[in-house]
Amino acid sequence: MQTIEELLAEGVDGKRVFVRADLNVPLAEGLITDDGRIRAVLPTVKALADAGAKVIVASHLGRPKGAPDPAFSLLPAAERLAELLGKPVAFAQDTAGPAAHDAVNGLEPGQVAVIENLRFNAGETSKDDTERGEFADQLAALADVYVGDGFGAVHRKHASVYDLAKKLPHYAGFLIATEVGVLKKLTDDVKRPYVVALGGAKVSDKLAVIDQLLGKADRLLIGGGMVFTFLKAKGYEVGTSLVQEDQLSAVTEYLERAEKNGVEIVLPVDVVVAPGFPDLKAKAPTHPATVAADAMPADQMGLDIGPESGTLYASKLADAQTVFWNGPMGVFEHPDYAEGTKAVAQALLDSPGFTVVGGGDSAAAVRTLGFDEKAFGHISTGGGASLEYLEGKTLPGLAALED
């Protein structure tokens, strides 16, 4: 895989460089609530601009249905990028049409343009190779060189991620090079004990990675909504908690295999419950209760791991030399159910080993709960991409860069 450092050494002065970034930031009433992904691509954009490239930044945002939708415009991301760069950023109101060509043609060396949301064109996400290829051809007409730096999208076989890289000289940006280097530390020469903390809502989202980790990790700490499928598989009452009944047999098999393989699966010893799911907008007090994990009331819903579990999980992380965390331990967006996630995040900070926060809600939790991002070994920008890499899957966006 050629990297941006090699591209910069070759020289980019006056060249049109297409940077596939991940500017898929969360928006609330048109305002960015977390600019982490924009800041993550900043080193690549700045280095190219400083070297005299005409930089074309492209990304998706949200899930528009292959047509323009103002609710998913990249304009707020372009404006934030300009603020972070400290210089104007042109914005094209289409993806590969007249506005995009005008914006690119108007660039001087060292200047930057952002084109509109790539998913406003149906060809970006099409499963038809020809349709994707045609859109990639339109994008290729804008540029001389391709730099892939949208790690959060590399597990998608999309036109700007996969097809376009094959049509232009291609390089990995600083972010992708860093992300791949980190993931190799989790899969190749792993320092032990290797502890993985998995949370989130659905166990089905994590089945494949659990399957892989049962042969690689020393301990798995389970939390979030997915833990109640594990608890039910052990025969516990879980009340009205989220349970995936169709995954109970798979979870039972994993518990048995973990015991045979000497992999410790750690489940909560207590949980925080309430009569129902909280209102995340109001964040009003909900008067939760803490109960033993094997004594949940039938009319209550589990919404976080309890304080004893937080202490237990911290003890299981205390000697870890390698830690991967993906998925919150509870409904961290509400203050009544954030303590379990806080406990795990703090344990990562206290751990002597190399700590990786696996993107998505975990990264959002770190920022929402006020932790210092720089104190962690690495915070990934791609939760789904990180998981698929750990599952051993071929990621299209990385495969295209390696050709």
The residues annotated as belonging to the active site are 37, 202, 360, 384
What does the DSSP 8-state code read for residue 217? -
Is residue 60 a known part of a binding site? yes
Is residue 156 a known part of a binding site? yes
Ramachandran angles phi, psi of 205, nearest 5°:
-70, -20
b/e map 13-31, b = 16+ CB within 10 Å = eebbbbbbbbbbbebeeee
The CA distance from 226 to 344, in Å, is 16
The CA distance from 114 to 57, in Å, is 5
Residue pair 71/117 in contact (Cβ under 8 Å)? The answer is: no
Residue pair 269/309 in contact (Cβ under 8 Å)? The answer is: yes
Is residue 326 a known part of a binding site? no
Is residue 333 a known part of a binding site? yes
Instruction: Say which residue the tokens 């990621």 belong to.
Output: 395
b/e map 68-92, b = 16+ CB within 10 Å = eeeebbbebbbebbbebbeeebbbb
Is residue 206 a known part of a binding site? yes
Is residue 119 a known part of a binding site? yes
Smallest Cα–Cα separation from 402: which of 182, 127, 134, 394?
A: 394
Is residue 302 a known part of a binding site? yes
Is residue 362 a known part of a binding site? yes
Smallest Cα–Cα separation from 207: which of 391, 369, 20, 43?
A: 391
Smallest Cα–Cα separation from 307: which of 324, 323, 330?
A: 330
Handedness of CA 298, 300, 302, 306 (dihedral sign): negative
Is residue 224 a known part of a binding site? no
Cross-strand partners of 114: 57, 91
Is residue 306 a known part of a binding site? no
Surface-to-core class of residue 39, CB atoms within 10 Å of its CB (0-12 exposed, 13-18 middle, 19+ buried): middle
Q: How far apart are the first and last CA of the chain?
A: 7
The CA distance from 251 to 231, in Å, is 10
Is residue 22 a known part of a binding site? yes
Is residue 24 a known part of a binding site? yes
Is residue 359 a known part of a binding site? yes
Residue 42: what residue type?
Answer: L
Binding-site residues, in ranges, read: 22-24, 37, 60-63, 119, 156, 206, 302, 333, 359-362
As annotated, the binding site for ATP includes: 206, 302, 333, 359-362
Binding residue ranges for substrate = 22-24, 37, 60-63, 119, 156
